[in-house]
Amino acid sequence: MAGTVSWDALRDLAGFRAEKGVALSFYLDLDPGTTAPAAARVGSLLSDAARQLDRSDLTHDQRKGLKTDVERIRRYFQEELVRDGAHGLALFASELDNLWRPLALTESVADAVKVNSELYLTPLVPLVGRGEGALVAVVGRERGEIYRLHGGKLERLADRSEEAPGQHDQGGWSQARFQRHIEHLVQEHLQRVADELDRRVRRRSERIVVVSTEETRAAFDDMISKAVRDAVVGWTTAEAHAGPPELLAVATPVLEAWRARAEEQAVERWREEAGRHGRATSGWETTLEAASDGRVELLLYRNGVQRSAWRCPGCGRLAARDGACPLDGTRMERTDEGLDLAVHQTLSNGGTVWAVTTRPDLDPVEGIGALLRY
């Protein structure tokens, strides 16, 4: 089943470094709207990877391992790939280092193939946090369902729906007394749903979209705990008997709006810190230096930006220009993947990364900056 990537998974991938072989990173756009057939693009990408076999810096065993990885990817695409809900594929392989990790993705990615000692991770950064794992709570006078967004679909976690008494249950009660009884039962039902959400939020950090009528929202909002209220990223409405596909359709815009707000807040924090020369960097030189020092809390870059950088082959330190490593004096080596190295350094040291897609604030500073821990 297709899914997205969490920060923990991305940090795990960032920690990989090929010790015996080389790491092959393979990306394929599976969106149905893609013009060229996937099979032809796979062949072209794997041909690019196979050309790396001629590299003079590879040993005989590394060439053999890379050739095995190329053929295994070809077979995987032909015989094993399940496209259910998948719009993109990321696959990481290193035969000699026992790495084989295919990831079917709910979002499309640009075709790419890289062969290096580390994994190419930048295409995954914009996909993190795009709703995967969020809860969708459907709350009504009788309905109380909680879903989790996983692999582009809503999976039901809990059903606290309860049927309220109907008019035929009135018996000898007066209408007013019976109505008060029904309202009391509805309030108890809403509280049980609120308590269920509270248990789940306290068990693990969640983002929540609540689907309800305006009338139910007013009552339910008074019942939820502070932890749940802090986790709610938005409210929306749906038809009374909406199923998972319809619920996902109304929840998705709410999650996208939350993501846009989060991006705006991150950029504003950076602008404020950079403006007063606080804990922030602007541009490649200071950002690469801070990433090498493990000081980056949040790396921000304009989606699509790229430039070359230099890396020390001994300690891995990064720099924006050629020269000797300031730590060990080793001559630094040029690489075209400056952004990906900055992403690796940030993730490996526990930071997070944000690909800015909606604001031009980073354009005047070479498209990159960072918020720092110190």
Q: Is the pLDDT of residue 33 over 80?
A: no
By C-alpha distance, which of 96, 110, 93 is closest to 21?
Answer: 96
| pTM confidence score | 0.84
Mean pLDDT computed over 164-192: 72
With beta carbons less than 8 A apart as the criterion, state whether 126 and 357 touch.
yes
With beta carbons less than 8 A apart as the criterion, state whether 26 and 49 touch.
yes
Give whole-number Cα distances, 57 to 21, 65, 279, 315, 329, in Å.
Answer: 12, 14, 40, 19, 22
Contacts of 296 (CB under 8 A, 6+ apart): 281, 287, 290, 345, 346, 349, 351, 370, 371, 372, 373
Query: Distance between CA 289 and CA 106 in Å, rounded?
Result: 34
Q: How many CA atoms lie within 13 A of 219 on its CB side?
A: 17
Q: What is the pLDDT of residues 236-273, one digit of tens each?
A: 999 989 999 999 999 999 999 999 999 999 999 999 99
With beta carbons less than 8 A apart as the criterion, state whether 299 and 343 touch.
yes
Q: What is the pLDDT of residues 311-347, one digit of tens each?
A: 999 899 999 999 999 999 999 999 999 999 999 999 9
Looking at residue 173, its pLDDT comes to 58
Contacts of 284 (CB under 8 A, 6+ apart): 307, 309, 320, 338, 366, 368
Q: Is the pLDDT of residue 175 over 80?
A: no
193 falls in which pLDDT band (50, 70, 90)?
Answer: very high
With beta carbons less than 8 A apart as the criterion, state whether 368 and 313 touch.
no
Question: Which residue type is seen at 150?
Answer: H
Query: Distance between CA 303 and CA 128 in Å, rounded?
Result: 13
Q: Return the CA Rg of the chain.
A: 25
Helix or strand or coil: residue 67? helix
